[in-house]
Amino acid sequence: MSSIIRPIDWIDSQAQRMIELAEHWANINSASDNLHGLEQMAAALVDTFSPLGGHLKLIDLPPRDTIDSTGHAVQKPLGRALSIIKRPHARLRVFLGIHMDTVFGLDQPFQTTQRLDAGTLQGPGVADAKSGIVVMLIALEALERSEVADLIGWEVLINPDEELGSPGSTPLLVQCARRNHLGLVFEPTLADGSLAGERKGSGNFAVVVRGRSAHAGREFHLGQNAITAMAHLITELDALNGRFEGLTVNVAQVEGGRALNTVPNLAICRFNVRYVDSRHEAIMQSELEQIVRQLEERNGVRAEWHGSFIAPPKPVDAQALRLLEHVADCGRDLGVDITWRSTGGVCDGNRLSAAGLTNVDSMGPCGGHIHSPTEYLLIDSLTERAKLTALLLMKLASDPMTWLMTKNTV
């Protein structure tokens, strides 16, 4: 036990460095579409993670498909992912991952951190997930300082596109899932400090409606109004809420229209679907197909839908429960009460789980109001959660056979 305790205690000495790293990284704008900021962030991460050793590289991602404001399919570039693989031939191999992108674009006022009080840091991405990167880093540094480090292999992936649904990095996550025995993802805990258990699935879709332009005064009767047609469609999408247990549809964005004296010929609606059962995917797809076809027949417009399910639901199966319980055991050793509950939020933990990798995906710090201009981090949770992961890694390293999950490795 003594070989475990000393590196764990060392984490307390890193408290100041952890908060400084969290501030530094949160003050770099790395919105998913800010390629310059993502490059800056990746460079900072390379500097900080390099001393850990292992094989480090930045990986180019393929562009993502999206629908632009003219309703056409276009491709947009993504940032680069950071990969580090250490001791790939160890008997037990652990995946550790989190994202470097945030939802806060350069056009938003929320750009810098501020200390609200001695225990609270506010800022863009402080909890989701810049401090998660810090927690992961310090836990790995503690592991590497321990006598058991050589008994365990690890692989890190820090992706730049998670807030978009990991469109470019999902194939990398699938490879990571195949190469490792279990996974830890450093999303923040839920607002009450619980870990995430079951997670819903998620899908992002767009519907493009095309009508016919006309002068609103002279030839109104010749127009086909894409916006009013879209209004019908939106009402029908919204009516799906409550029809299927656990499935929700959130109409999130609507675009269309120009001059007030012109019948609009284009409307675009973007929406997100959350669901608990993978059978909901086929149901949603056929409902959407039907709504779009009926709209065309009834309103005389042309309509098409785009998009896909980006994260399957993540259940807590027997192995996931075993891993959660092991995390809770480590919490008990540290005097931290660890609980978990289900959430509608999705993350790369869903994608890893779908690819066969048992994982706990909220090993990051505690905080709240994520994705909002009041996002905050509870500073004390930085060392607390780094100790939790470090202890888990050291216990796994000390006793790999107990925890070796033999499935899903190559």
Q: Which residues bind Zn ion (CB under 5 A)?
A: 128-129, 187
Shortest Å distance, C-beta 362 to Zn ion: 9
Strands (E), 72-140: 73-76, 80-86, 92-99, 114-117, 120-122
Tell me whether residue 71 or residue 365 sits nearer to Zn ion (CB atom): 365
Task: Give Cα separations from 243 to 19, 92, 146, 206, 248 (angstroms).
Answer: 46, 45, 54, 21, 9
Tell me whether residue 128 or residue 375 sits nearer to Zn ion (CB atom): 128
Shortest Å distance, C-beta 347 to Zn ion: 6
Pairing of strands 195-199, 340-343: parallel
Shortest Å distance, C-beta 163 to Zn ion: 7
Output helix, strand, coil percentages for the chain, rounded to the nearest 5: 40, 30, 30
| C-alpha–C-alpha distance, residues 37 and 397, integer Å | 36
Tell me whether residue 306 or residue 371 sits nearer to Zn ion (CB atom): 371
Tell me whether residue 71 or residue 367 sits nearer to Zn ion (CB atom): 367
Tell me whether residue 96 or residue 268 sits nearer to Zn ion (CB atom): 96
| C-alpha–C-alpha distance, residues 251 and 187, integer Å | 25
Tell me whether residue 237 or residue 370 sits nearer to Zn ion (CB atom): 370
Name the amino acid, one letter, at 399: D
Strands (E), 228-326: 248-256, 262-263, 266-275, 302-311
Tell me whether residue 23 or residue 128 sits nearer to Zn ion (CB atom): 128
Shortest Å distance, C-beta 391 to Zn ion: 23
Task: Give Cα separations from 313 to 111, 146, 343 (angstroms).
Answer: 32, 36, 10
| C-alpha–C-alpha distance, residues 388 and 55, integer Å | 25
**CB 159, CB 166: distance < 8 Å:** yes
Tell me whether residue 61 or residue 129 sits nearer to Zn ion (CB atom): 129
Shortest Å distance, C-beta 187 to Zn ion: 5
Kindly give the residue spans of alpha helices, DSSP state H, lying in 309-379.
318-334, 348-354
Shortest Å distance, C-beta 202 to Zn ion: 13
Shortest Å distance, C-beta 211 to Zn ion: 38
Shortest Å distance, C-beta 360 to Zn ion: 14
Shortest Å distance, C-beta 252 to Zn ion: 18
**CB 15, CB 383: distance < 8 Å:** yes
Helix axes 131-145, 15-26, angle to 10 degrees: 140
Q: What is the dihedral of CA 281, 286, 288, 290, to 10 degrees?
A: -170
Tell me whether residue 127 or residue 327 sits nearer to Zn ion (CB atom): 127
The tokens describing 9, both together, are 């205690």
| C-alpha–C-alpha distance, residues 77 and 86, integer Å | 29
Tell me whether residue 128 or residue 144 sits nearer to Zn ion (CB atom): 128
CB-closest chain residue to Zn ion: 128
Shortest Å distance, C-beta 265 to Zn ion: 38
Task: Give Cα separations from 148 to 94, 144, 235, 390, 392 (angstroms).
Answer: 14, 8, 59, 11, 12
